[in-house]
Structure 1
Amino acid sequence: MLLLVLLALPSLAAEPAPVPRRPVHTYSIVARDPETGDLGVAVQSHWFSVGSTVPWAEAGVGAVATQSFVDPSYGKLGLDLMRAGRAAPEALAGLLAADSANQVRQVGMIDATGKVAAHTGDKCIAAAGHLVGEGFSVQANMMEKDTVWPAMAKAFQAAKGDLAERMLVALEAAEAQGGDIRGKQSAALIVVSGKPTGRAWADRKFDLRVDDHLVPLKELRRLVTLQRAYNLMNEGDLALERKDTEAALKAYAGAEALAPGNAEMVFWHAVSLVNVGKVDEAVPLLQRTYRVDPRWKELLKRLPKSGLLPEDPKLMNRLLGTTK
């Protein structure tokens, strides 16, 4: 039956992908959060834009990392097979059987139930290997030493926090062991919800790429923090739609605490305060944004016409700092 599914897809069996002349990817993790069901994949490499080919994830389906002499179709077809009901081990076995170049592939795969599979071809460049644990798999190739993937597994299992944080800790543990023998250049991290909502854009909690950076993991961690802040901003907006002012302001304050230098977060927090009658609290926040860039004043003037602030000249003058 699995063979029939493979043949029904634009598959490896029909047209084996050509083997690249050089390996382009290094260490990664695929994982599932047992409490939330969230699925994730994270990777770091000494290659430009690793996030464009290695990590694949779909809410309620699974996650895939395809690397070494990478064949991106392992990501697409792996998700297709898991969506069709195949467990990760069965899906990966079928893809490998259809790939005449599987000896140079390295793949980690996890499905929505937490079943995990991994493969390291015997021609992957040393140091190369993988380690499968409960609800995760770590895999690496072309490492400086063979302690990288065991360190990733240990770090992931010991880490606290949500799935994004735990995967980041695993990547950082790999780098602490020497990481890629070539160095570092790019990184990526994806986290999707365990159950699809039917709104793919809402199912992606994190979808971050660092395509070219001297310290990609440090930059990836900064982006994860920033994404958390924007997630809180979105929560605040939804709370306002429910007319839950207290929850909204709490979310906005949390976002500002995570990204204190972000003027846009401060600005929209202030606008929300104005709209719930807390003008005295809003004014100093707006003044902060004006000091960053006076054009925030011009934006503020345009909001009443869009229905985002009351049509009140006296209020506007007070918000702009022209009157008390």
Structure 2
Amino acid sequence: MTFSIVGRSDDGAAIGVAVASKFLGVGAAVPAALVNVGAVATQSYANLAYRPQALALLGTGVDAESAVKALIAADSGPVSHRQLGVVGASGPGATFTGTDCHAWAGGVAGEGYAAQGNMLAGPEVIASMERAWLNSSGALPQRLLAALRAGDQAGGDRRGRQSAALLVVSEGRGYGGTSDVWADLRVDDHTDPVAELGRLLEMHSLYFESPDPATLLTLEGEVAEEVRSRLAAAGFTGADLDEELASWAGVENLEMRVVTGAIDPLVLAHLRASA
């Protein structure tokens, strides 16, 4: 009834889960992740206890395959209907699909990832997810989303679309460096949840990630003149340009992108659109 991918960045610094389903609020049930430990997706008559149990096992140094086997062996419920994907802080991921999961059901795993799904349009859903994952590059949230999009475009859940979620953890990558939760985004009830999840991730990147130093524009000359003029039109008329830009950015929730003496091109574009 769901398709998901658990994955780890190439450098091992980030771990996460992306999932979609014809199910209300799938993000509240399927994914879990712990920084420097691993990630898990539990689905198809999901046993939510797998989430803390898997992370506890991985935290003791157990590999993903052994963690999956231990969870299944200890489960007194309908194991033949369960589906599970696990990835640890190192090594290959692991996946399990019970023999009685609704067709089409199955999964694949490799170094640093596992993709799985049930009640899917066909095996091409998982195959497309794996290809997208292996062919992608860049930040982990975008890689996981690329795999989820590929599965959705290949047919996804054969019952239709309703919800999607993305959970990624990385040490110190949360808001202001005070959390390890890099991204925790959920679309609980939507006609096109994977596309909506992509829109939310774009917003998340804009509002909560720091700017690329290589792209910054120095606040001088024509750039400074334009910024001062647009800030004044928005009611920020103080003499200190850096202070006024920081004040405006705080109002617009762009404080993570403020840099003294310079401006992020994304912030400038937002200023142009809002002024």
User: Under a length normalisation based on structure 1, what TM-score does the superposition of the two structures give?
Assistant: 0.66
**Number of residue equivalences:** 238
Deviations 1:160-215 (A, max 9, x none): 3221122111111111221111100110111111x579999532211111111111
Amino acid at match of 2:189: D
Q: State the 1:123 CA deviation.
A: 0.8
Name the structure 1 match of 2:49: 73
For 2:229 and 2:199, how far apart are their aligned partners in 1? 27
Name the structure 2 match of 1:45: 21
Amino acid at match of 1:38: A
Name the structure 1 match of 2:165: 188
Aligned with 1:125: secondary structure?
A: coil
Name the structure 2 match of 1:145: 122
Residue 70 and residue 200 in structure 1: after superposition, are their counterparts in 2 closer, same or farther (change >3 A)?
farther
Provide the alpha-carbon RMSD of the alignment.
2.9
Aligned with 1:202: secondary structure?
A: coil
For 2:188 and 2:178, how far apart are their aligned partners in 1? 21
Name the structure 2 match of 1:9: none
Deviations 1:63-116 (A, max 9, x none): 000001111111111112212222222222111101122111100000111331
Q: State the 1:287 CA deviation.
A: 5.2
Residue 285 and residue 57 in structure 1: after superposition, are their counterparts in 2 closer, same or farther (change >3 A)?
farther
Name the structure 2 match of 1:175: 152
Q: Does 1:203 align with 2:148?
A: no
Q: State the 1:248 CA deviation.
A: 11
User: Under a length normalisation based on structure 2, what TM-score does the superposition of the two structures give?
Assistant: 0.77
Q: Is the 8 A contact 1:44 1:171 kept in 2?
A: yes
Amino acid at match of 1:78: A
Please give the residue correspondences for 1:298-309 in structure 2 after superposition, counting only pairs within 5 Å.
none
Name the structure 1 match of 2:35: 59
Amino acid at match of 2:153: A
Residue 93 and residue 201 in structure 1: after superposition, are their counterparts in 2 closer, same or farther (change >3 A)?
farther
Between the two proteins, what is the percent identity of the paired residues? 40
Please give the residue correspondences for 1:90-239 in structure 2 after superposition, counting only pairs within 5 Å.
90-100=66-76, 101-193=78-170, 195=171, 201-232=178-209, 235=210
Larger relative CO (CA 8 A, sep 6+): 1 or 2? 2
Aligned with 2:179: secondary structure?
A: helix
Aligned with 2:116: secondary structure?
A: strand
Q: Which has the higher strand share?
A: 2
Q: Which has the higher helix share?
A: 1
Q: Is the 8 A contact 2:63 2:88 kept in 1?
A: yes
For 1:196 and 1:226, how far apart are their aligned partners in 2? 20
Aligned with 2:53: secondary structure?
A: helix
Deviations 1:105-153 (A, max 9, x none): 1000001113311100001100000011221110000012222111111
Amino acid at match of 1:48: L
Residue 281 and residue 197 in structure 1: after superposition, are their counterparts in 2 closer, same or farther (change >3 A)?
closer
Structure 1: gaps spanning 5 or more residues? 1-24, 237-245, 254-272, 291-296, 310-324
Residue 201 and residue 83 in structure 1: after superposition, are their counterparts in 2 closer, same or farther (change >3 A)?
farther
Q: Is the 8 A contact 1:59 1:196 kept in 2?
A: no
The runs of 4+ residues in structure 1 deviating greater than 2 Å are 195-202, 246-250, 278-288
Residue 205 and residue 197 in structure 1: after superposition, are their counterparts in 2 closer, same or farther (change >3 A)?
closer
For 1:201 and 1:211, how far apart are their aligned partners in 2? 26
